[in-house]
Each structure stands twice: as structure tokens, then as C-alpha cells.
Amino acid sequence: MTSPEQTGTGRTGTGAKVSRMHGWAKSIFDLALILLIITIGKSALAEPYYVPSGSMEPTLKIGDELLATKYPYGYSTASLPLFMNIPSTTRILGALPRRGDVVVFRSPADPSQIWVKRVIGLPGDRIAVRHGRVVIDDKPVGLTPKGMGDDEGEDGGLRPVPQFVETLPGGRQHLIFQESTDGPMDDMAEITVPPGRLFVMGDNRDNSDDSRVPVRMGGVGLLPVANLVGRVNVLLGSWDLAAARQPVWTWPSGLRLSRFFSSVK
């Protein structure tokens, strides 16, 4: 026969177990809600990305961390966080970039990879490259010498190369590296950018697999607008990878403090 004390203890133990399960369920729900909010924020607002190559030098350096703002061009499945690799769809609330925008996008060859380039040609533009100089609608873009710049390799080594100010139609200006005028990337027959596509290039013109290079050869080809992730306006920070070859206690010296929260043109 069960005593009242034993019965009471049993009920108390069951209540505590239910209370613990309720607490766990609430914790799981709160965690899921936080993850959902983070995912929505990264999908709809902005997401940071790291620059692993020198194809956008001198504008972006290896080791820069940039912030891609997603809302300027609308949304597609390409806007989802990187780990969510879903076939691209048409954009909602879509808008075309402006010529000269620095954009982040999913690689047409491998959507799990995020690339960054500059928009040079919009739908309907006729684009050619002659002796290293971009030609838009039969008019060569402005190109003004700007001394020498340091082309940084992935090992952190620096190499001096000629630097120019490129002026696109509409007056937007940015720096480029242009060492060669007769290399395999320096001449391209005229093409017309079709609807729903963009012509993009890296600012390091001798070291960029961009719209001059077909997708089948490892380039971007004519970039589908649906692959756009966002626009780059600011750097969050930057760290010189050459510091990684030094003793660990010297690594803070690799921080490029002048690039923290700097604007991208």
C-alpha cells in the first residue's frame, strides 16, 4: 500500500521532469528563433565575406573582409547564406547594379563559391577590349596613369605594377592595375550584353578570371543577374596574410587598421 508521503513525492518528481522538459523545449525554441533571425538578417540585409585572391587589387586586398549589402539588387536564392546552396531563381524587388558597382555573386560554375568583381557592362552595352583598354559602345573608357602600385601575391610578396584611374561612362572612377597590353586577356572581340546578364571585370586586369573568360574555362562569362548576392560599399577589416609567416605574437602587426570600416569605390 502506498503512503501519502510516497504518493506526494512521486507527483513532485513527475512535475519536475515535465518542468525540465518544458525548459529544454523553450531553450531549443529560443535557439532556433535566434538562428532564424540571424539567417533572415544575413539573407535580407548584409553578410560579410573574406577576400582570398588579388583579382580586385588595388581596390580590394587579399585578407580584406568586406560587407555585401543585399537589398540594393533585390533577392533570389543566391541571397541566402552561403551554406544554403539552392538553384538560382528570378529576383524579387530586383534592380540592376550601376556601372562601376563592386558586386558579390555566386560563381556560375560553382554556386557554392562567392566571387567579387566590378560591373563594367549592363544589358544592351556593346563591350570590347582592345590592347587592355575597355571599349563601351565604340568609345574607349578613360584611362589616366597613376604611378605604380603594389600587386600582392597570395604568399604576401609585393610586386610593383603600373596603376591607372579608369573612368567609366557616367563619370565613375576607380583604380586598376594594368601591366600588359598585349597578353591573352588584353583583346576581346565586341559582344553585346544580353538581357538578364552583366559584364564584370576584376580591377587587377592581368590577374582576373572574369567575363572575358568563359565559364567552361574557369571564368565568369556573362554573369546572370540572378546570381547577384549584393553590393560592396565598406570593408569591415583587413589583415595582411604575410604576417602569418611570422611568430604568432607578431600577428597583430598584420592588421591594416587604415582599411577598417573604409569605403569601397
pLDDT tens, the chain, 265 aa long: 344 334 344 445 566 555 555 555 555 544 444 444 444 444 445 688 889 899 999 999 999 999 988 888 988 877 776 656 666 667 787 789 999 999 999 999 998 899 999 999 999 999 999 999 999 999 999 999 999 999 988 777 889 999 999 999 999 999 999 998 998 899 999 999 999 999 999 999 999 999 999 999 999 999 999 999 999 999 999 988 777 777 778 778 788 989 999 999 8
CB atoms closer than 10 angstroms to residue 2: 7
**Residues 25, 83 within the same domain:** no
Residue with grid cell 568563359, as numbered in its chain: 214
Question: Rounded to an integer, what distance in angstroms lies between the CA atom of residue 218 and that of residue 118?
Answer: 17
Instruction: Please check whether residue 264 lies inside any domain of the structure.
Output: no
Question: Which residues participate in catalysis according to the annotation?
Answer: 55, 117
In sequence order, the 6+-apart residues with CB closer than 8 A to the CB of 76 are 88, 89, 90, 91, 92, 94, 226, 227, 228
Which among 236, 239, 198, 237 has a CA at the least distance from the CA of 115? 198
pLDDT of residue 253: 79
**Residues 152, 214 within the same domain:** yes
**Residues 1, 85 within the same domain:** no
The per-residue DSSP string of 183-195 comes to STTS-EEEEEPPT
Q: What is the DSSP letter of 97?
A: P
> How many domains is the chain built from?
2
* CATH number reported for the structural domain that contains residue 247 in this entry: 2.10.109.10
**Residues 98, 22 within the same domain:** no
Question: Which one-letter amino acid corresponds to residue 204?
Answer: N
- Domain containing residue 120: 45-259
Residue with grid cell 518542468, as numbered in its chain: 19
Instruction: Please check whether residue 114 lies inside any domain of the structure.
Output: yes
**Residues 232, 160 within the same domain:** yes
Q: What is the DSSP letter of 217?
A: G
